[in-house]
Each structure stands twice: as C-alpha cells, then as structure tokens.
Structure 1
Amino acid sequence: MTTLSTIAFATALVAVLALAFNAGDSWFCALIALACLTGGCDAVYRGLDLWAFVFLLSGTGFTGAAVHAAINKPRRQQPR
C-alpha cells in the first residue's frame, strides 16, 4: 500500500466518521472528493489508466456535489 493510497483510505474513513457524527453534506462530499482525487493520483502513479479515470471522474462528481450542497444549504423553517 503506497502513501497516497493510505492517505486516500484515511480521508475516506474520516468522511464516513464525520457522516456518523452528523456532519453536513458539503463536508462529507468534500472529503470523499479529496479521497477520490488522491486515489486517482495514486492510480496515475501506478499506471492504472482505467482506475485513474474512474477515480478522477468520481472525484469531480463529488466536488460538484460538495459545491452544490454548500451553496444550497437547507432552509430551516421559522417557528410560528
């Protein structure tokens, strides 16, 4: 297991633990995006082209989801 792979795994574990402790969607998606992009860099380093493409594509998708979640925070209703 390379250093990049270990960092990606640890980041994904932190994301899942943050989700378990009720972190926001933007935090979860941002951490998973970071894990995917780090895993993609590891796949590029190892020369695994298909895995690199999949990791980098999913990291891009989770980055978009994190931005969307940060911009469109759920509105809380005011008590009447």
Structure 2
Amino acid sequence: MTENHFACAGWSSTNISVVTAGIEGTESWVEFAEPVPQIDVAMLIDNVRSAARKLLNANPDIGAFVVECTAFPVAADAVRRDTSL
C-alpha cells in the first residue's frame, strides 16, 4: 500500500502511524501467482495469521489491522482472535 491508497481512503500516513505487511514468500503467495490458483483456505488463513502476529510482535503498539486484499477477509476472525484487534 502507498500514500496514494491512504489518500483515497481520506487520510494520510503523515497523520496516522502505519506499518504494513503481506504474505509474500508464503505458499499462498506462490499459489496466487498461478494462472488458475487453487487456494487452500486453511493455508491462507495460517499465512495471514502468521503475518499479523509477526507485525504485532515487531510493533506492539498497533491499534488495528486493515485487511486489504480481497482474499484476506476469510482470515479476519482468526486474526481478531489471535490479536484482540
């Protein structure tokens, strides 16, 4: 995500602290690159949960997670349970 994305949502990272993370390098990421991806939902949830935990461990003052990818909402409840955010 870039400052342009934030501006389109009506805010700026100059006013709100932002850290970002993704699932690059995971099994799900590799599968998404396939011409016809066969996504294992449990694996995707695990990959998103792992990314969220790593981000929170590195930035314990995080106040909220924004699940930006259209595939990631399936993991939102698990992230919420893991992090209480």
**What TM-score does the superposition give when structure 1 sets the normalisation length?**
0.41
Larger radius of gyration: 1
**What TM-score does the superposition give when structure 2 sets the normalisation length?**
0.39
Higher normalized helix content (fraction of residues): 1
